[in-house]
Amino acid sequence: MGTAARSLVTEAAHDGIRTLTLDSPHNRNALSTRLVAQLYDALERAGADDTVRAVLLTHTGSTFCAGADLAEASAAGAPADAPLALARLLRTVVAFPKPVVARVTGHVRAGGTGLLAACDISVAGPGATFAFTEARIGVAPAVISMTVLPRTDPRAMARYYLTGERFGPQEAARTGLVTLAADDVDEVLEPVLDGLRRGSPQGLAESKRLVTREVLAAFDRDTGTLAELSARLFASDEAREGMTAFLERREPEWAVRQTPAR
């Protein structure tokens, strides 16, 4: 079955938990227009279902989410409102009236970290890696800062925003990007999901509202400015070179090559 015909977000329900699985391995679960639209639809169905206490967001393949779909973003006629669309998606997850839990056993990059940080609880397995790679392609983690920065250690983010270094689940937990790092993700998730099943709809919604207040305030304050910044950067010559270099698997023209030590 071709990618144009298949669902990029699959759904399953079990004992009050609606599992939404990002299933677009051909582009590493990148936030393409189609995947985002299908994720919206799946969230809407979960929100309207009174039997659902929480959403579990997970993935197929070796990548949880690679961030923006660079092939789509670099194509002629790419939507100029993509950063605003990403901001709307992240805010939807943060403001969703039911807890959203992330189950991560693979790589998380760039905009994918923003989706991860939008979730209320997250557990990362030993195969998970994380990186803010925006600066390496000529842009910046602008829109995702609204979910990432209120929940993470600022000194750590200063390092990883600037260097694009990869780090593992233990460091992600230490900095606050994820809630827990675990050797057995499902074993650790079991008591978490059981606790959510025991919560009342009202109790869960109002408790979530308390802990997301600062994040939502960032969206109310900064969405327009950061979406505009992101759109301007993605339209720049440097970003076009950076995205092209990434897709061609080469270094961008600005990369400084190290002189071998003598």
Spans of all domains in the chain: 9-185
Residue 115 has pLDDT above 70, yes or no: yes
| pLDDT value of residue 30 | 96
Residues 228-237 have pLDDT tens digits of 999 999 999 9
| pLDDT value of residue 1 | 44
Tokens at residue 190, please? 């079991």
Report the distance separating Cα 103 and Cα 87, nearest Å: 21
Query: Model-level pTM greater than 0.75?
Result: yes
Residue 74 has pLDDT above 80, yes or no: no
- Residues 100, 54: contact at Cβ < 8 Å? yes
| pLDDT value of residue 70 | 85
Average of per-residue pLDDT across 57-62: 97
Report the distance separating Cα 69 and Cα 92, nearest Å: 20
| pLDDT value of residue 76 | 61
Cα angle for residues 165, 20, 226 (degrees, 5° grid): 50
Cα torsion for 87, 90, 94, 98, to the nearest 10°?
130
Average of per-residue pLDDT across 22-51: 96
Residues 125-144 have pLDDT tens digits of 999 999 999 999 999 999 99
| pLDDT value of residue 65 | 98
- Residues 83, 231: contact at Cβ < 8 Å? yes
Average of per-residue pLDDT across 161-184: 98
* Second CATH level (architecture) for the domain 9-185: Alpha-Beta Complex (3.90)
DSSP class per residue in 116-184: HHHSSEEEE-TT-EEE--GGGGT----TTHHHHGGGS-HHHHHHHHHH---B-HHHHHHHTSSSEE-SS
| pLDDT value of residue 90 | 97
Where would I find the beta strands (DSSP E) of the chain?
Answer: 9-14, 17-22, 54-59, 63-65, 100-104, 107-109, 121-124, 129-131, 180-181
Report the distance separating Cα 56 and Cα 217, nearest Å: 25
Q: What percent of the chain has pLDDT over 70?
A: 95
What is the residue-averaged pLDDT of the chain? 94
